[in-house]
């Protein structure tokens, strides 16, 4: 099954592993559509793909995934994935906007939408004995009362980025055609590439070719 539009292929069709370079869950989520080899690849094109991706990035556990699979029909999870794709593009637009104009560019409608999505979170807290029998641990788990709760880990990461993240460290890869975003957690904050192996190398090769060309015209 191909995506409705364009030449986008589903990651599951070509068995392409997710690109996890964002160092922040909401940015990795934005990166779930990308074109590392030229044609766009969609990592959350179906409900099953979306759940696979959430497990890979450890936003849900494999046992939570099993629970979700047993609770809801594939069609319902597909609908959530479709909403997730819409949320992804809405959030990408927000990130670009506030990078450009600051947090004041966040509209009231954005905040309302985010709060509506955050309100989907239903957790219960419980205590259980610790390993040595002496201590008591306070734990929390998601209740999974409706399929749209699958959106919660992503939406929480978006809210965290907007509320607590440093916009200067939220960056798009310097290699022009590359659309991958990342959060620069390096010590000197000089990270430029989604990955040194992918875009860093390409940039180095391009610069080398430029120098070669310049050398040829000089002589």
Which residues in the 120-179 window bind Zn ion by CB under 5 A?
A: 173, 175, 178
Asked if 199 touches Zn ion (CB under 5 A), the answer is yes
CB of residue 174 to Zn ion, shortest distance in Å = 7
Report which of 120, 116, 119 is spatially closest to residue 146, judged by C-alpha positions: 120
Give the binding range for Zn ion (CB under 5 A) out of 49-57, 65-73, 110-118, 196-204: 196-204
For helices 74-101 and 47-56, the axis angle rounded to 10 degrees is 60
Give the binding range for Zn ion (CB under 5 A) out of 30-38, 139-147, 197-205, 210-218: 197-205
For residue 49, report the phi and psi dihedrals to the nearest 5 degrees.
Answer: -65, -40
CB of residue 210 to Zn ion, shortest distance in Å = 19
Give the x/- contact pattern for Zn ion in 64-93, rule: CB under 5 A: ------------------------------
Considering the complex, state which of residue 135 and residue 176 has its C-beta at the smaller distance from Zn ion. Answer: 176
Per rule CB under 5 A, count of chain residues that contact Zn ion: 6
Q: Which DSSP helix (H) or strand (E) runs through 108?
A: helix 108-118
**Angstrom distance (rounded) from CA 97 to CA 101:** 6
Give the binding range for Zn ion (CB under 5 A) out of 23-31, 50-58, 96-104, 188-196: 188-196
Residues in the site for Zn ion, rule: CB under 5 A? Answer: 173, 175, 178, 180, 194, 199
């Amino acid at each position: 099954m191909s995506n409705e539009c364009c030449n986008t292929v589903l990651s599951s069709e070509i068995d392409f592993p997710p690109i996890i370079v964002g160092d922040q869950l909401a940015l990795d989520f934005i990166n779930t559509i990308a074109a590392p080899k030229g044609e766009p690849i969609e990592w959350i094109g179906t409900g099953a793909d979306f759940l696979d991706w959430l497990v890979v990035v450890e936003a849900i556990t494999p046992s939570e995934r099993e629970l979700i699979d047993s609770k809801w029909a594939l069609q319902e999870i597909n609908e959530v994935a479709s909403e997730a794709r819409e949320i992804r593009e809405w959030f990408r637009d927000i990130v670009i906007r506030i990078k450009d104009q600051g947090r004041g560019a966040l509209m009231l409608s954005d905040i309302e939408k985010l709060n509506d999505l955050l309100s989907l979170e239903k957790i219960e807290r419980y205590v259980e004995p610790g390993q040595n029998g002496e201590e008591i641990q306070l734990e929390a788990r998601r209740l999974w009362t409706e399929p749209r709760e699958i959106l919660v880990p992503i939406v929480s990461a978006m809210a965290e980025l907007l509320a607590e993240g440093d916009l200067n460290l939220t960056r798009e890869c310097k290699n022009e055609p590359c659309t991958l975003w990342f959060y620069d957690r390096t010590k000197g904050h000089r990270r430029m590439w989604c990955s040194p192996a992918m875009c860093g190398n390409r940039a180095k090769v391009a610069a080398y070719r430029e120098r070669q060309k310049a050398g040829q015209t000089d002589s």
